[in-house]
Chain A
């Protein structure tokens, strides 16, 4: 493939803007396939970053001796602010950064619906769960869900819920990472995904929770700085007038629509459509269902819930959610600006487009191209490296929570009845890490073409339907019983997975069945599967008259005392 050399280092923002304005008019250029030659500046930044994080892993490995060190950060010795940064880091994943900025670039306002949905779960977590989790739990959310229940069935459920959510979340991260590496190094997509899988295993196997937490904190700072710079440059080029930015974006979208053969009126309408909700959510049921998945999914994500056990007390747990919410909210405002920046700088610049008018390297690469447009190769390298570190750290965090579900909940508690020694528990989590890495690679290859923010929304739907109802009911509802929690939880899990499988995104787009053949027409299953989960827990709890149920109900008072006051849990993280 012949390749026009990419422009030299960053051109002045205004010059680029002018060129962006005319680029779509010179439509003939779009016909050429543009493939970036190997970009050494970006790659060396990138390599420096990966090496840096590996050093953190090596440092952390020296400190990771017991199973407790492996899952839990330095035995609860982390402050609320640091933990808030780590939570924000977990949450500002590839899906948030690459996926949402890409969604904004494509749909404008529709992308904001994602951001808001991902954010509004945080207050709910704070008000209803965060401190109670801290007071009841130790390693995994199953510790909380199973607090007063029969251990075996509840832990089997919690581990299943964890693993399914982790698998879906992993897919999104792998796809993002694969596309990023492919774009940067010109590697085949599948090779890129295998490399990510291998690196992730190194982080988790040797560094454990301590390493992933520190990588997460550092990366969160760098990502926030990088995104701030990008948003600043975008706003700067429009004289800090969002109106000017929106106007330019509408103009470019209109131009693209006109180029595609739309009549001037239709083109103008299509161009303006980015300023309001559009085709992403077509029907009211999808909108509500999708909204529920995003809002309540946060409270069921195992790798996020796990973070509440790494702070010393409820006060720090609350502080950490507040910090996380502040940074995540700020970050989503930035991604919105970045998405619009991508419309104005990237969409209209043939340098970033492939022959068909799509983005070079796939639809999720909007923010990466914008980095080059506003900051040249050095900044491109910086943002790519941060995005990659983001993915690695999130993947590592997810894998860790999956691994602890298997080793702590299934192996140590269910299989060994609590008599497993630390060494064998650690071995099981390491084996699980490898297995999860392989699964993630395979799924990442299968789901290559999906928008990663959307994939994550499916993980949220499952978390909201399975983990969240069980957690909420077990903590807050006296009459909840083992049987109710387990049956209801599995019903929520099974229905959300099944409905996801037969939804248009998976059944048609991923599995290649003909359009319109999906049995479940809505964008998200949460409205239905969450209802099934909650009703299932309620129904099977009130019908449960077994001796175990009496014991479960009798245990509520003591559990509540501990969840409300933390007495009995004070210093629990000292293990």
Chain B
């Protein structure tokens, strides 16, 4: 890529907007995934009896819905990112590309 093209893109406020929006969004989501996952790991590490608490009278423990919940959360959070990135962020990228290549 020619250096001047890169410089032109960097000067485009839309590029700065894209960069900061996406970076912030990405890190927030990554952080929430880490909080959920390491919350689980810390429970495994420090409070095993909690995860083995029975729900009601049967043998099913609270760990089971928590585990399933994390799996669903993981898929959902990925879907949220991909949805926004493929819509909003890609539209912005397209504008930037159009502006730069004119």
Contacts and interface: CB of A to CB of B under 8 A. Distances in A.
A4 to B, nearest CB: 33
A291 B33 contact: no
Given A276-B52, A567-B1, A242 B93 contact: no
A291 B43 CA distance: 12
Interface residues of A, number: 57
Contact of B59 (A128, A275, A336): A275
Interface size band for B? 35 or more
Contacts of A120: 33, 36-37, 70, 74
Interface-central residue, A112, A272, A319, A560, by most chain B CB under 10 Å: A112
B58 interface: yes
Given A123-B30, A242-B64, A276-B61, A565 B93 contact: yes
Interface string A98-137: 0000000000010011011101101110111001000000
B97 A123 contact: no
A477 to B, nearest CB: 12
Interface in B32-78: 33-34, 36-38, 40-46, 48-49, 51-52, 54, 58-61, 63-64, 67-68, 70-72, 74-75, 77-78
A354 B75 CA distance: 40
Contacts of B58: 243, 246-247
A277 interface: yes
Nearest to B51: A276
Contacts, number: 171
Given A281-B45, A558-B1, A564 B22 contact: yes
A321 interface: yes
Given A127-B27, A291-B41, A318-B86, A558 B78 contact: no
A567 B40 CA distance: 40
Given A283-B45, A288-B41, A557-B6, A565 B18 contact: yes
Given A120-B37, A318-B82, 12 more contacts: A112-B67, A124-B30, A275-B54, A275-B64, A277-B63, A284-B46, A319-B86, A325-B75, A332-B71, A561-B10, A565-B18, A567-B100
30 contacts: A109-B51, A116-B37, A123-B30, A123-B33, A124-B34, A128-B30, A242-B60, A246-B64, A247-B59, A275-B60, A276-B51, A277-B43, A277-B48, A277-B52, A287-B41, A287-B42, A287-B44, A291-B38, A314-B85, A314-B90, A318-B81, A319-B86, A326-B79, A329-B72, A564-B15, A564-B19, A565-B97, A566-B97, A567-B96, A568-B5
